[in-house]
Every structure is written in C-alpha cells, then in structure tokens.
Structure 1
Amino acid sequence: QLDGGYRAYRRHVVGQLETLPPRFRFVVLCGLTGSGKSRLLAALAAAGAQTLDLEGMARHRGSLLGGFPGVAQPSQKAFETAIAASLRALDPARAVFVESESKRIGKLQLPETLLGGMRRGRSVTLVTALPQRVALIKEEYCLRTDDPATLMQRLEPLAPLVGKAVLKRWEVFAAEKNWDALVGELLSLHYDPLYTRSLQRNFSAGSDSGGEAIDVTDTSAAAIAMLAADVLAMNDAQAPLLVDSP
C-alpha cells in the first residue's frame, strides 16, 4: 500500500505504464473485423498463454458497433489502472498475446508506451473469408436485429464516409432483415478499409520481427482451440532463448 493516498497511487500507475510495457515481448493478433481475433485470444488464455485483453478491460470492441450491450465503458483512469494491474501480473520471460488496436478503443485511449511495445511485437494475422466473418459478426456483435430502426440510427454517423446512397441501401437491407448483405457491405465498404489503414499506420512500420499469416476457415470454438494450440507451438519454436529487460 502506498503512502500519500489516491494521488500517490495515480502517479504509481502512470509510472508503471511507462516502465512495464517495454519489458514484454508482445505477439499481436491482427486480422480484419470478424476474423476471430477475440476468440483466438480467449482460446490462448484458456490454453495457458499470457494474454492482455484490452477490449475486455475497455468494455468495447473498438468500433462503431463495438459497445458491450448495456455496459458503460470505464473512465480513462480506471482503464489505465486495469492495464497496469494486468501487466504487473504477467511474466516478462514469456510472450504476451494481445489484439491489434488503434490508439482508441471506444472513448478510451491506449497508453502510448504500451502501443509502442505492441508495434514492436511480432504479428500473427488471421486471414478469414468474408462469409465466415459475416457469420461471426452476427453472433458476437450487438446488431439489434430485433430493432432495425435503432441499428440504422447507430450507423447514421457513417453517412459522410460511405455516402447517403449506401446508407439508404443498408436501410433497405435492415428493413428486409437481410443481415448477410448488410454486414457484408458494412465490412467491405467501411470496416475493412478502416482497419487496413489503422494497421498500416500503427503496426506495419514499427514491427521489428515480422510475422505470420494464418488462413482461418472455421471460427467454431473447437477449431479456434486447435488454432490456439498451433499458434502456441509456433510461438514456442520462435521464442528467444533470453529476454532482455530494461
């Protein structure tokens, strides 16, 4: 317990967010929206790997439709406190798996030192076909398929980006409950270009050690568990004998 109350504790957290991330060797799970990154991260954790679940701590999936149903995001300070606590519990001698993220998850901003450590990490990119990604999005995201009008209200901010004609077409898809068509276009016309730009901006230029691409043809729980085992074996084969700590 720190003397000095909350202010001293807050300074301690801020200091740890500067000093802890450089100690770790991050393996960054990349892939377009719906490729199965979150499922793989959970499967890796279940298999005993070290993971940093930033979206879980942020209570948000990091996109316009990424809010957790009925759950508010924490404050920035609470988010940073959770990150620091998670990092303290990890072993710097072992790899830490984390999803690729932009600078913000919903309303919350990632600590710059952590983002820098992730950028220097090795990437594992999931390559998943559009039909499988559409199916996963329908399962995991709160699309409010029971309330097309509310869904379209949430998509309204995209009008300047995709155009009013596209938004009108999506409104027709929603009214007809043609969710495959709506989600498919939402991915191909908005999320995929957005994610690709974010990935190039945040990770491609800063990665020290390259990475691997893995074709994902099945995003079921059993298949993702098998994929997690493969990723762990691949990581063990590439793990350095020594891990330098600052």
Structure 2
Amino acid sequence: MSHRGPVRVQDRHAFDTLIDARSPAEFAIDHLPGAINCPVLDDEERRIVGTLYKQQGAFEARRVGGAMVAANLAHHLRTRFADRPAHWKPLVYCWRGGMRSGSMVTWMRLVGWDAQQLAGGYKAWRRHVIDTLESQAPRLPLRVLCGATGSAKTRVLQALANQGQQTLDLEALARHRGSVLGAWPGVDQPSQTAFETQIVHALDAIDPQRPVFIEAESARIGRLNVPQPLVQRLRSSPCIEVQATASARLAYLLRDYAGLADDPALLARQLGTLKELHGRQVIERWQAWAEARALEPLFSELMALHYDPLYARSQSTHLHQWSQRQMVPADDLSPPAIDALARQVAGLPAPTP
C-alpha cells in the first residue's frame, strides 16, 4: 500500500529500511536512529559538485553530479539493495529532502519498490529532536542519583537498568564520565547533534508513568552540552544521595580508574588542567604520583582537596530539592553490594510533591 501525502518524521516506523542518502561525512556527524548510509555522492564528489555550482552554475553541477549519482545508484542496486524483495518499503532522506533523496526514490520506484522521501530531510529530523526535548524533558519523572565522586553512581544506574528500572544514562550517551579524568580511553565523544539524537531516541522508549533514574550531571559532559530543557528538569527533580564511606569510595575509584596508570603521561597532562584551582605545588605533587603510577595517594588527595569541596558546593547550588533528598548509606561498593544498593534505591518511597 503506497503512502499518501508527504512522509513526516513521525511516520518513519512504518517503513522497512531508513536510508540516509547523504555523504559519509554528513552521516558520521549525525543521522536518524537505525538509518543505513547509501550515499548518492561521496564526500569528494559532493565537494566537486559544490565547487562546480559556485564556479559554473546549477546546470553544469547537475550534469556532472547526475552522472556521479547514477553511478552510485547503480552500485547500490547491485550491492546493498540486490536482495530486497518486491514488497520492500524504504524511506529515503537527504539534507533537506531535495535532489539527492529524490533521485534515489525515483530509481527505486522504477524498479517497483514503494520507496518514499522524508519531507524536509535531516533538517526535519533535527527540528523534531529540538521540539521533543522542549516538550518532553519538562515532564520527565526524574529521580536524580547523587553522591560524591567514587560513590559508584554510574554502576548503580547500570544495576537499576539491569533490574528493569527506567534509566537515562547521559554519560554512556556522551561517551565520557563527566569529570576531569572522565575521557573514555581511545573513544571519541559523539557530535553535539548526535548526542541529542541519542537522548531523543532514549526518550522514545520511556513510560512517563514510571520513574526515570538519572545521574546528577553538570550542564557539560566532556565537550558536550546537556540540552537546556533536560538540565532544568534534572535540577528541579527529587534527589537520592548515595552516602558512601571514604574508604569504600577510595577502593572503588582505585578499581574503576585502574586503567589511568597505563598512561602516566596522559594522566599528568589531565591533572595539569587543574593548576589554576590548586596551584603549582599541589599539581606537581599529583603529577609526580601520576608518573610513579601511585594512584592511591593521588586519589586520596583528589577526593579530599578537589572532588569533595566541589561536590559540596555544586549540589546545594544546582539541585533545588537537595535539602529534601533521600539518603542511602553504603560502606561497600563491590559489585554484589552495588546490586543491593540499586534495589534499595528502587525501593525508596515516591517523594511527596
């Protein structure tokens, strides 16, 4: 059954395959969840066509670009689309729903597939992401998980998810732990737009009648900004504080960040960014420990001099319901204890509005 009228972003689930016809570089920055990349122009071809358009005008750009598009479509028909049945229904998009997706849809229809073009292309998706964040974030039933650095908040969040609770793990989506030493080794963060796309994709699966556990985050995670409507909702939501003992936290940090000892030079460089906060003398002592792979005294002092004072200031400033928080004590942060802690957090009575 052919789709009547323009296909909107909300209709995308009615199709068998979502195809991004843009160049690989555009696709890498951000794309619709679940889309496959079948470019009608690759990165270099797109550059050539763009230059021709500027220097010689639309006709010459279309003549040369048309031949490239035809060659790429022929390639996709012989490879990616070769085994698709007659009743296959793909939805195709490009930057704004123009010639790139239009040409692919035309060829697919000539073959006999019921191909459709996404009205407005990727730009319509981007608008949908912004609108969704603005409309849904203010209504999310968030429970904000707090705790000083080393309280295993991320692990508790993962345990909650494994136990069937709803969670929104912003650090996993941002691929960063959010602290000064939070970069994931060898992993790049996504683009800002891809980060927002992933948040909206996660929100799609959320039941607004059940609580959503989220970690207390600052407005930035690494180099990414948490969308403002979500920051505001997080800051005004009820809080649960994991109150772990200093010894449990230190033991947890030494396990969790053990990998930092693999690259002492990088660790020393990261610590150097704190010079303005703590002065040269302190940083040089920390860097010497980093280079000697002496994580225990390093983390002990980082907790006492950096993380804890920062935590005490930021929670009461940024979290509007901090004074009414629910508290869960913890003197052990081993994996079995974290599972038990998550069950305790999930079992807390619903906060009174």
Matched, 1:238 2:350: yes
Give the superposition deviation at 1:173.
2.4
The number of aligned residues is: 237
Give the superposition deviation at 1:36.
1.1
Matched, 1:215 2:329: yes
| Farther-moved stretch of structure 1 (180-189 vs 163-172) | 163-172
279, 284, 288: which one pairs with 1:172?
A: 288
Mapped to 2, the partners of 1:177 and 1:108 lie a distance apart of 29
Asked if 1 retains the 8 angstrom alpha-carbon contact of 2:316 and 2:323, the reply is no
User: What does residue range 123-162 of structure 1 map to in structure 2 within 5 Å?
Assistant: 123-141=239-257, 144-162=260-278
Q: TM-score, normalised by structure 1?
A: 0.90
Mapped to 1, the partners of 2:195 and 2:273 lie a distance apart of 26
Aligned to 1:64: 180
Mapped to 1, the partners of 2:131 and 2:310 lie a distance apart of 32
136, 147, 154: which one pairs with 1:20?
A: 136
SS at match of 2:261: coil
- Provide the alpha-carbon RMSD of the alignment: 1.9
| Farther-moved stretch of structure 1 (47-56 vs 128-137) | 128-137
186, 191, 199: which one pairs with 2:307?
A: 191
The CA deviation string for residues 74-98 of structure 1, in whole angstroms up to 9 with x for no partner, is 0110001111111111000000000
Using the aligned pairs only, state the percent identity.
44
User: What does residue range 28-107 of structure 1 map to in structure 2 within 5 Å?
Assistant: 28-107=144-223
The CA deviation string for residues 59-87 of structure 1, in whole angstroms up to 9 with x for no partner, is 00101110111100001100011111111
SS at match of 1:166: helix
Mapped to 2, the partners of 1:113 and 1:201 lie a distance apart of 18
Mapped to 1, the partners of 2:126 and 2:286 lie a distance apart of 45
The CA deviation string for residues 163-195 of structure 1, in whole angstroms up to 9 with x for no partner, is 111112223323443321111111211122222
Name stretches of at least 5 consecutive residues in structure 2 with no aligned partner.
1-7, 10-118
Name stretches of at least 5 consecutive residues in structure 1 with no aligned partner.
none
Q: TM-score, normalised by structure 2?
A: 0.64
